[in-house]
Structures are given as structure tokens and as C-alpha cells.
Amino acid sequence: MEERPKKLLILYATQTGNALDVAERVGREAERRGCPVHLISIDQYDTSCLAQEGTVIFVVSTTGQGDTPDPMKGFWKYLLQRNLSGQWLEGLHYAVFGLGDSGYQKFNFVAKKLDRRLLDLGATPIIQRGLGDDQHPSGYEAALDPWMISLWNMLNNINPKYFPNGPEFLIPYENFMAEPKVRIQYHDIKQVDSQFSTNSGNLIERARRVSPVKFSLDKNRPDCILKLVKNEPLTKSGSIDKEVHHFEFEFVSSAIEYEVGNVLEVLPSQNPAAIDSFILRCNLDPESFITVHPSEMENQLLDACTPIKLKTFVELTMDVASASPRRYFFEARIYIFATAEHEKERLQYFVSPEGRDDLYQYNQRERRTVLEVLEDFPSVQMPLEWLVQLVPPLKTRAFSISSSPSAHPNQVHLTVNVVSWTTPFKRSRAGLCSNWLAKLDPEQCVYVPVWFQKGSLPPPPPSLPLILIGPGTGCAPFRGFVEERAIQSLTGSTAPVMFFFGCRNEDNDFLYREFWISHSQNGGVLSEAKGGGFYAAFSRDQSQKVYVQHKIQEHSRRVWNLLREGAAVYVAGSSTKMPADVLLAFEEIISKESGLPQESAVRWLRALEKAGRYHVEAWS
């Protein structure tokens, strides 16, 4: 018998889960063609073994302003070692698919630099890298589908053993997804130890451990539980444009050390009415106790897991009324569970090549939730095994910390924009976490599970001059920076700080107005007397819009002088146009004040970035 090749290795690097979705889809399509796969997160792979692999498929996302996702940082650092020769990966064939957003300046930067580095190390590309664009009318799938077709054909040319029946052969979805990958075991309620229902940290950890979703190991159990002590609106009441809240939390037990510039990840609570509706719609018993196991798990191992109440499991792991279901939700034979013929036909059309764009419009563009999809197709009755496998996971939401631990030793502060928007078909949508937080009442003894993470803004030493740009809620991390610098100035000399803030109206959304003004007067750390300054741009308070980049250019001489003294630039806020506009403003200032041509100013800024003195933290 001819020896079959080892499994096709697919490595993914994801920040929010989208790259995992794509990697799983690539894996499914390979398996449907008879090719076994090994799918693994890049941070769980031993990079030193890369030279021994025959073929690797990489699926990587780009975060922030061209940053590698957190799980990829160690892998990328290994690839950049200078002792790796140009022949190290000579026997490796690879393909790269990137997920990005062309609204960002460094579109798919991580996929591009990974492709270049693999080439430099001697690896051979199977096909040209694929670049998915979230801005495309059909999303990243517009690039993914043709890329995969080319991938299978070229992979078959390299090694026909990957596809015993050829790359055109396809196992029908009906057969390929005949059985769920998990099984549910129900337990007698009397045998369940009641102690597990009391500690919320324990509950979250248990729920996430038994979930089939690949949560990072350090994300199973929260770092701590915080108590909400203040929820205060910062914007003018009744403002139709924007609603921003200031939150203060206290550590319940011992405080966790954090630094300015760090990020707090919050696990939101879902709307109880939505949870009840989902459970009712799916004919589930909320009071039953369950354990979730991989289908292939041995029977004798099943009793090792502690049961959890079904309703609690749904609340803590399954996003039923916020996230849109993945394409996999529709591919995985959902139409098999429809009894109404017209619903079955519609669902089959959605997973056909002809229906791809319509599915994208119906699902992702309209941000339909799992509950809404199930309500749109009332004859569908999916077993719990499939729901657990297919419903999107409940994810944490990340917020820049807006306090200094030196100024608030037992507290963490957040500055949160309450998110809402209208879909292309004029349906109102609301962000799950921000709207949940905004409705919380500190008087009700609210406890919130959180994780602390390093952000993109490293804490600066007191001797480093700073130029900070933070319009809107982008000011959040810099509130912590200024608090920290103010504390440091009490015991020693500190370098100047210039801060450029922006909002729409001085009267409506001038966040932390008194705080900034107080630190810019009487020799404060933002005062011009100390070499710094505070400058606010109110974009809608005059006929011609004024943004932070205009204020930076107004003070070009002082900005240039600080840059020459070794200042670091920190930018935070919306990822749409602001970071690119600010970068262009700096290019123009450097060119104007130094007399250098624009190309030299661009190189000057690149050198600043490479030296670790130009940082951006942006979010969409």
C-alpha cells in the first residue's frame, strides 16, 4: 500500500477569532477532498520544527496598525533570529492567507511580512498569498474562495497523495457533517455538588473548559473579579451623537499589578430575556445539568468533568444575541433540521456558490444574531450538540485602562463609548458589552469578571518627553499617563508632555475637561510652563471642521523641538482615518521644520517607529 502523507498542517494566528474561522473553513474544505489536517494555534506550535515540515498553510490576521496578533508574537520573534540562514526552510512549501481591513493604513501587513520572511528563509510559496478584506462587499470570503481553489490545485501538483481522488472530488456536506463533534451528557441534579454554583470565577472557568471552543488557556479563568463603584456619564445628557461613560472598579480581594497603557478585558453578561428566548426557541431545559465532551472521548473519562447548569453554560460561553453566526453555522446541515420546504430551499441556497453574497448581506452585513436567524427559520430544530458546536463563543471585550495604579492603588478605571449603529437595512444594533456596562448600577453590588493584558502603548519613563494624541475615547490611556506623570513629578523631575485631544463639541463631549485643564495650569505636567501643553480640537463648533491633526500642525515648531529632544509619540483612538491623518501631519511638520524633502520625513518617522518611539493603539 502507498503511504499517505502526514496531515496537512494549518497554523492560525487570531486576535478576535476571525482567523480561526477561516482556518477551520480551510481545514473543512481540505477534509472534504479527502486530505487529513492538523489545525493548531501558532502559539501552541514548536517553531523550531518548521524546517522539518513538508507543507504548512498559514492563516493570520493583522491587528491595530499592522501589529501581529498576540499568539503570533513568539513565533515571529523566532523567525527574526539573525542566526537563521537563507536555506533554513529550503524544503518547506507554504501558503499564506491574511485577514485585514483596507480602511487601515497597513492593510494585511502581517500576512505580507510573514510571506516575505518565509521567502527569505528559503521556503517555497505554493501560490500567491491571499489577502482578505473586511471592507469588501462580500467580506474576506471574496478573496478566500478563489484562493482555496488555486491552493488545492497547486497542492495536488506538488503531492497528489494529499488528494487521493483529486482536488475536484468533494464529500457532500450531508455526509461530511453527519455527526456533531461533541456529545452532551445529562446528569441527575441530586448528584451535583452545590458548592460549584457559588463562585463566579469557578463557574466561568468550568464553563469555558468544557466548551468545544478553543479559548486560550489563560482565558479560561478570570484574573480577578472587580466590584463596580462608579458609573458616570461623561457626555451631555440627551446628546444624540455620542454617549460615553466613566467607570470605576475596586479589587475585591488582593489587587493585581498593572501599568498605564494596559488593557482590561471584560466578559459581558448577556440579556436575560435573550437567553430565555434562545432556550425556549431551542426547546431546552434551563435547569438541567450537563457536561460537554468530544465525541471520541472514552466513556470512562466522562465522569471526570463537573456538570454545569445548562442555562449557566449558555450564558457564559454562547453568544446568542450579539454575534453573527459563522458561515459554518449555515454549512453544517442547518437545512437538514428545517421541516418547512421553503426554509430548507433558502438555507441550501445560502451555502451554494451562487448564494454566497446574499448570505453575507443577510448575515454579516446585517449583523444578524443566532437567535434572529433561528426566529427567521422557525421550522429549524437543532439538537443541543450542534448548537454548542456552532453558536459563536461569548468573547471578552478589551478596553484601554484610563487610570494610574499610583493614583488609584486599589482601583481600575475605564472610559467606554456606548456603541450603537444602524445596519444597511436600517435595523438598530447595540454593542453588547458597552450597553450592558452603561446600564449597571453600583448600588446593586455588581461584580465583573476581567483579565489584564499588555496593550500597544508601553508605559513611558518619567524622563521621556511625550507627544500624546487621543481624540474621543482615545484619551483614556493618556488620562492614566498624565496621572502617573503627575505623581512622578512630586518626587523628581519629569519630561514635558504635550497632549492633543479632539471631540465634536466643547459643550457635549469634552471628556474629562476639568482634569486636563487642571493639569495644564499652575505648573502642571501639561502646562506650557513645563514645556508641554494641552490643545483641544472641537470639530463641529465652527463651519470648517478642525481635527487633532490641524492642532498638531498649529504647534509644529514646538512639536518638532520636542521630537528633536527625543520625544515619543503615542496615538490612540478610532482606526478609520485618524491614525493616517496624524502620521501625515507629522510628515509635513518634519519636512517643514527641518527643510527635508517629504521622502526623508517619511524615513525619519519610520526610524522613530523602529526605535520604539511611535506607538499606535486604534480600534474600529
d(CA 164, CA 33): 8
Give the cell for residue 400.
Answer: 484601554
Question: 3-class secondary structure for 62-83?
Answer: CECCCECCHHHHHHHHHHCCCC
Q: Is 98 annotated as a binding residue?
A: no
Q: Is 17 annotated as a binding residue?
A: yes
Q: Is 546 annotated as a binding residue?
A: yes
CA angle 167, 171, 172 (to 5 degrees): 130
d(CA 444, CA 388): 32
Q: Is 16 annotated as a binding residue?
A: yes
Give the cell for residue 502.
Answer: 479632539
Q: Is 604 annotated as a binding residue?
A: no
Q: Is 415 annotated as a binding residue?
A: no
d(CA 114, CA 106): 14
Question: What is 80-140 written as a DSSP string?
Answer: T-TT--TTTTTT-EEEEEEEE-TTSTTTTHHHHHHHHHHHHTT-EESSPPEEEETTSTTTT
Inter-CA distances, 543 with 332, 472, 510, 538, 546, Å: 54, 20, 19, 11, 9
Q: Is 260 annotated as a binding residue?
A: no
The amino acid present at 583, given as its one-letter code, is L
The amino acid present at 195, given as its one-letter code, is Q
Q: Is 431 annotated as a binding residue?
A: yes
d(CA 614, CA 608): 6
Give the list of residues 6+ apart from residue 308 with CB closer than 8 angstroms, or none. 196, 203, 206, 207, 210, 289, 290, 291
Query: Which stretches of 520-575 are DSSP H helices?
Result: 548-554, 556-564
Q: Is 539 annotated as a binding residue?
A: yes
Pick from 109, 84, 83, 85: nearest CA to 98? 109
Q: Is 62 annotated as a binding residue?
A: yes
CB 333 within 8 A of CB 351: no
Q: Is 61 annotated as a binding residue?
A: yes
The amino acid present at 567, given as its one-letter code, is A
Q: Is 420 annotated as a binding residue?
A: no
Q: Is 398 annotated as a binding residue?
A: yes
d(CA 145, CA 26): 10
Q: Is 190 annotated as a binding residue?
A: no
Q: Is 21 annotated as a binding residue?
A: no
Pick from 532, 550, 533: nearest CA to 541? 550
Q: Is 432 annotated as a binding residue?
A: yes
595 Rama class: left (phi>0) / alpha (psi -120 to 50) / beta:
left
Q: Is 312 annotated as a binding residue?
A: no
CB 390 within 8 A of CB 28: no
CB 464 within 8 A of CB 567: yes
Q: Is 19 annotated as a binding residue?
A: yes
Q: Is 525 annotated as a binding residue?
A: no
Q: Is 619 annotated as a binding residue?
A: yes
Helix (H, G, I), strand (E, B) or coil at 407: coil
Q: Is 34 annotated as a binding residue?
A: no
| Residue carrying the nine cell digits 466522562 | 302
- Each residue of 485-520: b (16+ CB within 10 Å) or e? bbbbbeeeebbbbbbbbbbbbeebbbbbeeebeebb
Q: Is 548 annotated as a binding residue?
A: yes
Q: Is 162 annotated as a binding residue?
A: no
Q: Is 524 annotated as a binding residue?
A: no
CB 432 within 8 A of CB 270: yes
Q: Is 581 annotated as a binding residue?
A: yes
Helix (H, G, I), strand (E, B) or coil at 287: coil
Q: Is 235 annotated as a binding residue?
A: no
* Residues placed in the known binding site for NADP(+): 473, 539-540, 545-549, 581
* Residues placed in the known binding site: 14-19, 61-64, 134, 367, 397-400, 431-434, 473, 539-540, 545-549, 581, 619
* Residues placed in the known binding site for FMN: 14-19, 61-64, 134
* Residues placed in the known binding site for FAD: 367, 397-400, 431-434, 619
